[in-house]
Amino acid sequence: MKKIAIIDFATSEVVRGSFGYDSYLLYSALKQKKTIEVDFYEDATPFRMHRLDKTYDEYIIHFWSYPQFESISWARANLKGKITYVGYKPFIDKFNLEHCDYWNTKNLLLGMEHLPNIYKEMKYGLMSDCDLHIKSHDKRPVYPLFTSYGCPNNCKFCPIPPNREQYGKDKRVCLEGDALFSSIHESFKDNNNVHFCDEDMFVNPDWMQNIIEYLILLQEQYKKLKRVSFKWIGLGSVNTFYNYIKKYGTEGLIKSGCHLIELGIETKDEMLRKKMNKTGDMKQIDYINKNTKKIPKFWLTVTFFPGETITTLNIMGEWLCKYGTTPEQLGDRLITNGFVGGLGQFFQPYDGIKDYKELSEKGIILTERPVRLIPSYVPYSFLNCKPILTDKKFNKTDKKWFGTYNIDYDKYKDLIFDGKNKIAYFWKTYGTDILIYIALMARLGYIREGKK
Ligand code: SF4
C-alpha cells in the first residue's frame, strides 16, 4: 500500500478560483483507490508538519496562493520522501516543481463526484467567502460542490484559463449522468445548502437545465418529507447566463432554490470590458437585470485593470447605485464587492495570466505577491488622471466604505483636487492608501476627471 500525504499549507488568502480546492478534490479521488492510503493535512503549517511522526512515500503539496511561498520552501528543504505538487500550474512551472501524476482529468472527475463523501471529515477550506452570503439568513452548513471544473472563457485578468491551458479539450470538464445526479443528491442530503463552485455553470444551457430539473425534483421530495427547502448559489458569466434565461426563463431557477447568482460585470465601460476580453455586453446585462428581478444577483467588479480611469470608476459607481447589492442582501460576506463603495477585486498581476509580460509597460506592479483586497498593481491610465472635486455634497454615511478598507476619510478630506495634479503626484506623496481613497471618491461621484 502506498502512503500519501496531501498538504494544503495555511494562507491568508480566501479561495481564489477552483484551483484553491484541488487538494480536496484530489483527496476525494485518492480515497477511492484501493492501493493507496491517503491522509490530508488541511491548513497545515511547517511547525505542525515538522512535528509529524509519520513518514510518507509521497507528499503532494497544494500550491495555489502567493502567501504559501514560504511554507513551500520549507517543505522542499525538510520533508523526506518524494514531493509533487498540485494547484495553480504557473506557480508549479515557475519554480520547476514536479507536477503530481495523479492530477489528471479522470481523477478530477472522480474527485468531483465523491466530494460530498468527505464533507464530514473536513475542518477547513470548505467555505469560500461567497458562501457567507447565506450565513446570516440560514444557519445550516453551506458545502461546496463542483459539477464542472474550468472555464472556456479567456478573461485577461483571470488565472483560471492559464491553469487549464495544457488540458486542451478538457479545459472545462463536467460531471454527466449518474455521477452528476448522485453528487448533487449526496451534497444536499443532510439538509445542507450548497455553493456550486463551477466557474461558469451556464456554459451549456441544456446541461444546466438538467441540473435545475433535478434540483426541483429534490425540493419536491423534501417538501413531502416536511424538510426545509434548501438554497444554492451559482456562478455564471454574462453571456452564458443570458443565453440560459433566453432559452429556459427564470422559473426553474426560483423553484430549484437559487439564492444568488454571481456574475462578473467587472466594469461598466465597454472599451475596458473589451480590453479585459470579457464576453457579453451591456445590452445583455440590461436584459438580465430587467428579466430576473426575483433572483438576487451579485455583480462582481475588478478595479485597476490597465485602462481604468476616474471616468470608468464614475460610471461603474452610477450603475451600482441602481443595480448593486445592499449590505442587508449580502449575508455575512465582506462588503467589498457588488456595492457602489466596494471596489471588488483589485486586479492582481498573477503569474501566467494573459499579457502578463506587458503589464509593466501599462502600469506599476506594487508587489511580487499580489492579493485581492489591497492594490497589487496600478495602471498608468489611472495614475495619469487629474482629479477634480464635483459639486456633490459629502454624505457622512459614505464614510463606511472608506472604513472597509481601513482608510481614514478625515485624514485626506482636505486634499485639493482641482485638476492640476495627477494621481501619480498624490500617490508619491501619500502612498498606496491614497489610491484606494481616490478610487472610492470616484466610485461615489465626489471627483471627476480633469483635462489631460
Ligand atoms: S468567466 Fe472569465 S473571470 Fe470567470 S472564470 Fe471564466 S475566465 Fe475567469
Answer yes or no: do 396 and 281 share one domain: no
d(CA 151, ligand 1 centre) in Å: 6
Answer yes or no: do 147 and 230 share one domain: yes
Answer yes or no: do 160 and 266 share one domain: yes
Q: Is residue 32 part of a domain?
A: yes
Q: Is residue 240 part of a domain?
A: yes
Q: Is residue 113 part of a domain?
A: no
Cell numbers of 397, please?
Answer: 454615511
Q: Is residue 336 part of a domain?
A: yes
Atom of ligand 1 nearest to the CA of 151: 6
Ligand 1, atom 5: nearest CA belongs to which residue?
A: 199
Q: pLDDT digit of tens for each residue in the chain (452 aa)? A: 999 999 999 988 776 688 999 999 999 999 999 999 999 999 999 999 988 888 899 999 999 999 999 999 999 999 989 999 999 999 999 999 999 999 999 999 999 999 999 998 988 766 666 666 677 678 888 889 999 999 999 999 999 999 998 888 889 999 999 999 999 999 999 888 999 999 999 999 999 999 999 999 999 999 999 999 999 999 999 999 999 999 999 999 999 999 999 999 999 999 999 999 999 999 999 999 999 999 999 999 999 999 999 999 999 999 999 998 877 777 777 778 888 889 999 999 999 998 898 999 999 999 988 888 889 999 999 999 999 999 999 999 999 999 989 999 999 999 999 999 999 999 999 999 999 999 999 999 999 999 87
Report the number of distinct structural domains present in the chain. Answer: 3
Burial profile 365-393: b = 16 or more Cβ within 10 angstroms, e = fewer:
ebeeebbbbebbbbbbbbbebbbeeeeee
Domain range for residue 55?
A: 2-94
Of the residues 94, 117, 137, which one is the last residue of a structural domain? Answer: 94
Atom of ligand 1 nearest to the CA of 160: 8
The closest alpha carbon to 256, from 240, 237, 234, 273, belongs to 234
d(CA 149, ligand 1 centre) in Å: 12
Asked if 353 and 376 count as a contact pair (C-beta separation under 8 A), the reply is no
Answer yes or no: do 201 and 240 share one domain: yes
Q: Is residue 106 part of a domain?
A: no
51-58 long-range contacts, Cβ below 8 Å, gap at least 24?
54/3, 54/5, 55/3, 55/80, 55/81, 56/3, 56/4, 56/5, 56/81, 57/2, 57/3, 57/4, 57/81, 57/82, 58/2, 58/3, 58/4, 58/5, 58/82, 58/83, 58/84
Answer yes or no: do 154 and 30 share one domain: no
Answer yes or no: do 133 and 265 share one domain: yes
d(CA 59, ligand 1 centre) in Å: 31
3-state class (DSSP) for residue 234: strand
Answer yes or no: do 203 and 280 share one domain: yes
How many CA atoms lie within 13 Å of 13's alpha carbon, on the beta-carbon side?
22
Cell numbers of 24, please?
Answer: 480536496
d(CA 262, ligand 1 centre) in Å: 12
Answer yes or no: do 133 and 276 share one domain: yes
Answer yes or no: do 290 and 350 share one domain: no
Using a 6 Å CB cutoff, which residues line ligand 1? Answer: 151, 153-155, 158, 160-161, 199-200, 237, 264
Q: Is residue 306 part of a domain?
A: no
Residue 32: its pLDDT value, please?
A: 97
Q: Is residue 178 part of a domain?
A: yes
The closest alpha carbon to 84, from 150, 5, 163, belongs to 5
Residue 88: its pLDDT value, please?
A: 95
Residue 2 bridge partners (DSSP):
36
Cell numbers of 227, please?
Answer: 424538510
Answer yes or no: do 141 and 284 share one domain: yes
Ligand 1, atom 8: nearest CA belongs to which residue?
A: 158
The CA distance from 394 to 134, in Å, is: 33
Of the residues 52, 73, 94, which one is the last residue of a structural domain? Answer: 94
Q: Is residue 114 part of a domain?
A: no
Residue 52: its pLDDT value, please?
A: 86
